[in-house]
């Protein structure tokens, strides 16, 4: 078992002070008790679920994605290691960014873990009724230096209703040094941030940013709370609702390993869908489809933490 290595948790190049850091608690043992699982979700705003996916299926998805990135010169052989070459030929070989990223995001092995198999049963249990994933996927290949600022998912995904959950899947081991997801403990109760956000639709009001102005360390300190994360391992997922502040740690992998993950939104089958994220070629948040995603940009060493 990989030990939790809090010293490796960086935000914008600074170590997260130990008093502001905690380890996500594993809720997988509650899967056999749906009421308790849903109570945990209501209490924590998230469920960290260790080992719920088939590790071999996740490894196959990782290999499928990294083989595509190796074909454009970004990932070294053997692709399973996920090491960045430091260069890219994506622009010359795949000039249609959106089409390329859509085809990578629709790989059958990737979809077999993100949209089917064990995660489908997990999400039925989380919602207490049959659930379905959005077709649109946020596939993220983050090189060293990359991080995601704190935000709530509400402005992106609640146009039709707010019974929506994000499922963030580690596509391979993502130790804290590689910049896994981080959540702000208790942020589902921050009415001063949540109330003004109600009704904010990022597609209609893109000038109003979803990301917080302060970085995660300052934010956690100001709220007297902790940032929760884990050394994610192959097979682990975290599920969270639209009212939980989250982001990622910095990827500062000393071996230039690319952090690979995907995040997909799920909702009850019984509720209306948001057309932006469903269909054969979903328009996405801005209407640009897969071209709008960071993942659609060639990997480059010029990433700065943002």
Ligand X SMILES: O=C(O)CCC(=O)C(=O)O
The site for ligand X (CB under 6 A) is made up of: 140, 148, 153, 166, 168, 181, 246, 248, 261, 263
Least CB distance to ligand X at residue 47 (A): 14
E strand or H helix at 196, and its extent?
helix 191-197
Phi, psi (deg, nearest 5) at residue 26: -80, 120
Which pairing describes strands 21-23 and 227-229: parallel, antiparallel, or unpaired?
Answer: parallel
Query: What are 215's two structure tokens?
Result: 């970085």
Please enumerate in sequence order all residues whose Cβ is within 8 A of that of 193, keeping only pairs 6 or more positions apart, or say none. Answer: 152, 187, 245
Least CB distance to ligand X at residue 168 (A): 4
CA-CA-CA-CA torsion sign (57, 60, 66, 72): negative
Query: Residue 195 class from Cβ within 10 Å (0-12 exposed, 13-18 middle, 19+ buried)?
Result: exposed
Least CB distance to ligand X at residue 265 (A): 8
Question: How far apart are the C-alpha atoms of 89 and 299, rounded to whole Å?
Answer: 9
Least CB distance to ligand X at residue 202 (A): 12
Query: What are 294's two structure tokens?
Result: 């960071």
Least CB distance to ligand X at residue 52 (A): 17
Give whichever of 21 and 150 is closer to ligand X, judged by the CB atom: 150
Give whichever of 143 and 181 is closer to ligand X, judged by the CB atom: 181
Question: How far apart are the C-alpha atoms of 27 and 24, rounded to whole Å?
Answer: 9
3-state secondary structure of 144: coil
Which pairing describes strands 131-133 and 259-268: parallel, antiparallel, or unpaired?
Answer: antiparallel
Least CB distance to ligand X at residue 25 (A): 19
The DSSP code for 295 is: G
Least CB distance to ligand X at residue 94 (A): 23
E strand or H helix at 112, and its extent?
helix 108-114
Q: Are 200 and 154 in contact (CB under 8 A)?
A: yes
Of the candidates 219, 226, 211, which has an alpha carbon nearest to the alpha carbon of residue 306?
211
Least CB distance to ligand X at residue 261 (A): 5
């Amino acid at each position: 078992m990989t030990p939790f290595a809090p010293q490796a948790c960086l935000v914008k190049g600074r170590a997260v002070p130990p008093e502001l850091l905690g380890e996500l608690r594993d809720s997988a043992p509650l899967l056999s008790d749906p009421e308790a699982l849903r109570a945990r979700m209501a209490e924590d705003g998230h469920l960290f679920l260790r080992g719920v996916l088939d590790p071999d299926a996740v490894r196959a998805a990782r290999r499928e994605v990294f083989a595509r990135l190796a074909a454009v010169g970004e990932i070294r052989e053997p692709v399973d290691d996920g090491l960045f070459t430091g260069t890219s030929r994506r622009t010359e070989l795949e000039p249609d960014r959106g089409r390329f990223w859509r085809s990578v995001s629709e790989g059958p092995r990737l979809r077999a873990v993100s949209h089917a198999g064990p995660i489908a049963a997990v999400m039925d249990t989380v919602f207490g009724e049959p659930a379905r994933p959005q077709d649109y996927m946020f596939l993220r290949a983050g090189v060293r230096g990359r991080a995601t600022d704190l935000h709530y998912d509400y402005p992106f995904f609640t146009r039709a209703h707010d019974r929506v959950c994000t499922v963030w899947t580690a596509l391979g081991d993502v130790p804290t040094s590689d910049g896994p997801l981080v959540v702000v403990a208790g942020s589902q109760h921050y009415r001063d941030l949540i109330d003004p956000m109600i009704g904010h639709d990022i597609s209609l009001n893109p000038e109003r940013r979803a990301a917080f102005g302060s970085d995660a360390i300052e934010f956690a300190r100001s709220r007297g709370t902790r940032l929760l994360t884990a050394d994610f391992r192959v097979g682990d997922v975290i599920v969270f609702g639209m009212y939980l502040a989250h982001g990622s740690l910095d990827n500062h992998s000393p071996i230039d390993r690319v952090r690979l993950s995907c995040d997909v939104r799920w909702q009850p089958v019984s509720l209306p869908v948001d057309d932006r994220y469903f269909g054969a070629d979903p328009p996405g948040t801005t209407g640009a489809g897969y071209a709008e995603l960071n993942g659609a940009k060639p990997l480059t060493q010029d990433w700065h933490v943002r």
